Structure 1
């Protein structure tokens, strides 16, 4: 995501100050980065809005036959594994190099940087801040030297490279954490209604942001981050290991369950913020759902996940009414609510 500072949409929009995102779930694997930039003249911007960057790392067409096949195979394996984990089709072609789209003149969403030379590509179009949400295991899988990229950006002196662990704002968009964070940025700071932010994003870049995750994160911040203890169980069928992925840790991580031999169940107890969480079990390495717990209907690709809905018991409270409003069909925020979110985020380490 690239942001050009203080180009606001309305008088209610807020400038970006000390910008960081509340971590609703630790990060899941994602090919996307976020970049923030300073504005150039408007005629340049109009020409760039629909432009994608030329791949800056060697594309498969520029590699030797063996290297190109190896890169394509790694992308296929990665896409397959993430599709299996998240319950929706994810296609990521790392071998095609960095690419991005201007969502607004001050906001760019694109793939992660792959080489230090990619830093110069973004500097040339006025990018001032790169906000990278990639996890270390995914960068290592594709052989991306993130330390070299960050060191080079620091040496340039006119661009900063930030990284953050961020809760999974995207459900199956895995992907698309960056698109969802871009939507949250427009919703929280730039005066957009959530539906308008979504429509603008999808008009510029093909992605699958999950509005419900952004709504829940917004409600979490404005209602005080209340948690509730949740217990998940898998009936022991003589398996050796049982893990859960998704939930509040993202699809790239796993939590082991503990076997209670007396009860005959593998058990996970975890405090979760209010909201809806999807997850899957991994039993002896095989991804599956628990048919004795809530599960989603099959999506268009016939994938199904378990889910848990975490609710506070006081359904008549002011916080409950606010959460219901914020998680409704098309929420909007008042200036006071945006200020509260801004203060909350600025107070985070």
Structure 2
């Protein structure tokens, strides 16, 4: 079922113990070369100095307390990874796993392009810098960072203190193909302008590096670097198994080349034998829902919503239970046997030629002509996402100039 639900999961440990146990249980552990049990207090060797023995016990108690705290934190991160992986699998329609506790992971897609998981500490900036990265491009939203307790401010501040590497953000909602579609033009426009200035290797990441980041990298290769979509997708998958939403990329491409039209759609749940009906999916993603209103005349729950052209999956939530409506179009069962409703939205007032061009992209024939590539590039170059983009571009150029001066690439004019 393509919805986000937190469910219970078994946990396992990445540490070299045969099984994970809670911090307050007895265990055997290796710590700084000593082996101990219970509270991990190591008995000091008998000595004539009672103070020395007491000091040793104090030190080992502190060590034990520190280890317990680390194990509790590890357990927490493992559980969060389990829940996140489950939600990602359900929302993306593919079995995907992310282990945050194992640290940042990534793959070179091209010599100048890397796709990976999120940075977790400022030390990860040094790791990326060591492989030639000049641009870190973060797609995470604040709730993503807060979930895994990532201090983005510390990472950004450390990046500013270094020469030759820069950190930027361009947020896309997790597990949301519609938000990806709508944000791709702004995000890829920003990315291409930054890369044009910074050069070097670019690191694109989301949380797990399996959905949003691969999709942005793929779109950048398709719109900017001259790849056809299928070729770029094959290259991406050969380097990093992942699950970018191709329909979102095709829709965003058609939005630029053909235009975006909207149509008003009514969703209906018959019956007055329930106290609440919501709908999830559509253009709001699986992590949110919208309530339907009960219409006494029709004896049904209704929602009217204006949607851009495209295909949308959704599900009803009736008195808290996720269900599909058998009176509306349904998808084929997924790998778990779950079914969603779906709707194809189109505007009948759009001319036939424009509709056929959009259909061409959505049916899989997404190859771009030279003129279409030129049109997309002009669109990206002229795109303004928000009021502070000019200020950010100026900062990028100033940083690039500062780096060039520091490295001796350009000289500083003599003072008069």
TM-score, normalised with respect to structure 2: 0.63
What is the deviation of 1:87? Answer: 4.4
The 10-residue stretch of structure 1 (297-306 or 184-193) with the greater mean CA deviation from structure 2 = 297-306
- For residues 109-153 of structure 1, what are the alpha-carbon distances to aligned partners after superposition, in whole Å with 9 as ceiling and x for unaligned? 111111122122112212122222222222211111222222322
2: CA distance, partners of 1:313 / 1:178: 35
Task: State the partner residue of 1:243.
Answer: 278
1:75 aligns with 2:61: no
Q: Which structure 2 residues correspond to residues 160-199 of structure 1 after superposition, within 5 A?
A: 160-166=166-172, 168-169=176-177, 175-199=210-234
1:195–1:330 Cα contact (<8 Å) kept: no
Task: State the partner residue of 2:321.
Answer: 286
Instruction: Give ranges in structure 1 of 5+ residues lacking alignment.
Output: 1-27, 30-58
Task: State the partner residue of 2:256.
Answer: 221
Task: State the partner residue of 1:61.
Answer: 15
Task: State the partner residue of 1:93.
Answer: 99
What is the deviation of 1:157? Answer: 4.7
Q: 1:311 to 1:341 in 2, by over 3 A?
A: same
What is the deviation of 1:163? Answer: 2.0
Q: 1:113 to 1:106 in 2, by over 3 A?
A: same
How many positions carry a matched residue from both structures? 292
Instruction: Give ranges in structure 2 of 5+ residues lacking alignment.
Output: 5-12, 17-66, 182-207, 386-416
The 10-residue stretch of structure 1 (146-155 or 194-203) with the greater mean CA deviation from structure 2 = 146-155
Task: State the partner residue of 1:270.
Answer: 305
Q: Which structure 2 residues correspond to residues 1-349 of structure 1 after superposition, within 5 A?
A: 60-61=14-15, 64-166=70-172, 168-169=176-177, 175-314=210-349, 317-346=352-381, 347-349=383-385
1: CA distance, partners of 2:260 / 2:332: 29
What is the deviation of 1:224? Answer: 1.4
2:117–2:209 Cα contact (<8 Å) kept: no
Task: State the partner residue of 1:9.
Answer: none
What is the deviation of 1:104? Answer: 0.9
2: CA distance, partners of 1:305 / 1:327: 20
Which structure has the bigger radius of gyration?
Answer: 2
Q: 1:261 to 1:109 in 2, by over 3 A?
A: farther
2: CA distance, partners of 1:319 / 1:154: 46
1:88–1:299 Cα contact (<8 Å) kept: no
What is the deviation of 1:262? Answer: 4.1
Instruction: State the structure with bigger RCO (CA 8 A, min sep 6), 1 or 2.
Output: 1
**What is the RMSD of the two structures over their aligned residues, measured on CA atoms?**
2.9
Three-state SS of the structure 2 residue aligned to 1:134 is coil
- For residues 280-299 of structure 1, what are the alpha-carbon distances to aligned partners after superposition, in whole Å with 9 as ceiling and x for unaligned? 33334433322222221012
1:314–1:320 Cα contact (<8 Å) kept: no
2:115–2:209 Cα contact (<8 Å) kept: no
- For residues 44-97 of structure 1, what are the alpha-carbon distances to aligned partners after superposition, in whole Å with 9 as ceiling and x for unaligned? xxxxxxxxxxxxxxx943984333222211111222234344544332221111
What is the deviation of 1:175? Answer: 4.8
Task: State the partner residue of 1:34.
Answer: none
2:330–2:342 Cα contact (<8 Å) kept: yes
1: CA distance, partners of 2:114 / 2:209: 18
1: CA distance, partners of 2:161 / 2:315: 43
Task: State the partner residue of 1:3.
Answer: none
Three-state SS of the structure 1 residue aligned to 2:15 is helix
Structure whose residues are more often helix by fraction: 2
What is the deviation of 1:218? Answer: 0.7
